[in-house]
Amino acid sequence: MNKQKIVIIGAGIVGASMAYHLAKRNQDVTLIERHLAAACEVTDKSFAWIHTSHRVAPEYWHLYDTALEEYHALQQEIPELKIHWHGALTWDTPPLREQLHFQKLNREQLEALEPNLKEYPDEAMYVREEGAVDPIVLTELLLNKAQEYGAKVQFGTNVTQLQQEDSRLVGVHTSNGFLESDVVVLAAGIGVSELCNPLGCPVPVTSSPSILIRMKTKNKLIRTLISNAQFEARQLTDYTLLAAEDYIDESEENGPEAVGKRAFDTLRRSLKDGNQLELENIKVGMRPMPEDGYPIVGFQDHIKGLYLTVMHSAITLAPLIARLAASEIIDQELRSELDPCRLSRF
């Protein structure tokens, strides 16, 4: 097995997952991050639902179906990884994928499962297998493990240019000097387009803002993860509750602060002892959204040594896609599981 010099740009969940899988297989890995710590951009603002039940195109089903297995395998490899396998409870939301295994719960079952709600629907869907993580802890843990396998991490380092010679990338110019590479892995979210455009390699990714609301609570109010037309919320810890909302605009009426405060008020009204909730912060995450909503993964066809890893649903998919991507980079054989994710589809 050839030991390649691999530079990864971006220390969110995708970059950390790539560093872990590549370093574990004895590659010469250097990860570059412009912030002074990991998970400072989208990962920090992620609701972090390991969400496999929403509707996706059939050609991507296998990735979502395998994502849960991947997380269980990761827990075997890293026993200190904590995943909240409490399941997800949904009602009054778009229907789940047809072939998914879910339970229909009646009102009595819902009251037993979530005793702190003030009102209950007559019926809800429960996906027992789904879970959630602390995205920052997970990212830091993967990076620490990657470093134990020999990966190097450079925080506070800006990438200024990708160096191309003929049709091959040969390295990365950074604020701390030039780094030679055999492969550059772009895991920089919406920053991928900016890095690729000077190479004549457009990547159709735009930002899709989302809002994360963090609240303090004196005790645990939600046992599962709840998603309905009124709110989407879960416990991060026994004393921290998270809610997620869609971004609307920057107006005073519908800006992130207004949307976040409405979500906070909704949860205070919807939960028994909800008046104990304290609003901690409201953050906006700029999620990278490929043009068709699905991951862009793989070597760029016309520039050797450039590997793309851009995806929405990064918490769900990153560990699985990173393992498959690492296999492609090291073994130099395409993985058919990633065929629907190629840039060439655009």
Dist CA 195 CA 199 (whole Å): 8
Amino acid at 322: A
Q: What is the pLDDT of residue 99?
A: 58
Q: Is 98 a residue whose pLDDT tops 80?
A: no
Dist CA 88 CA 223 (whole Å): 10
Dist CA 13 CA 319 (whole Å): 8
The residue-averaged pLDDT of 60-65 equals 93
CATH match for 5-66+134-204+291-341 among 3.40.430.10, 3.50.50.60, 3.30.160.270, 3.40.50.2300? 3.50.50.60
The residue-averaged pLDDT of 88-115 equals 88
Per residue in 155-165, pLDDT (tens digit) is: 999 999 999 99
Query: Sign of the CA dihedral 128, 134, 140, 141?
Result: negative
Q: What is the pLDDT of residue 329?
A: 98
What residue ranges in the chain does DSSP mark as E strands?
A: 5-9, 28-32, 49-50, 88-90, 103-106, 123-127, 131-132, 152-154, 159-165, 168-174, 177-180, 183-186, 205-216, 225-227, 232-237, 240-246, 278-290, 296-299, 306-310
**Residues in Cβ contact with 158 at an 8 Å cutoff, skipping those fewer than 6 apart:** 34, 174, 175
Q: How does residue 2 score in pLDDT terms, banded at 50, 70 and 90?
A: confident
Dist CA 184 CA 302 (whole Å): 14
Give residue limits of the domains in the chain: 5-66+134-204+291-341, 88-128+207-289
Q: How does residue 97 score in pLDDT terms, banded at 50, 70 and 90?
A: confident
**Residues in Cβ contact with 109 at an 8 Å cutoff, skipping those fewer than 6 apart:** none
Q: What is the pLDDT of residue 101?
A: 75
Q: What is the pLDDT of residue 1?
A: 58
Dist CA 185 CA 338 (whole Å): 16
**Length of the chain, in residues:** 346
Dist CA 287 CA 312 (whole Å): 7
Q: Is 301 a residue whose pLDDT tops 80?
A: yes
Per residue in 310-328, pLDDT (tens digit) is: 999 999 999 999 999 999 9
Q: Is 196 a residue whose pLDDT tops 70?
A: yes
Per residue in 208-266, pLDDT (tens digit) is: 999 999 999 999 999 999 999 999 999 999 999 999 999 999 999 999 999 999 999 99
Q: What is the pLDDT of residue 53?
A: 85
Hey, how many other C-beta atoms are within 10 angstroms of the C-beta on 226? 24
Dist CA 8 CA 188 (whole Å): 9
CATH match for 88-128+207-289 among 3.30.365.10, 3.40.50.2020, 3.20.20.70, 3.30.9.10? 3.30.9.10
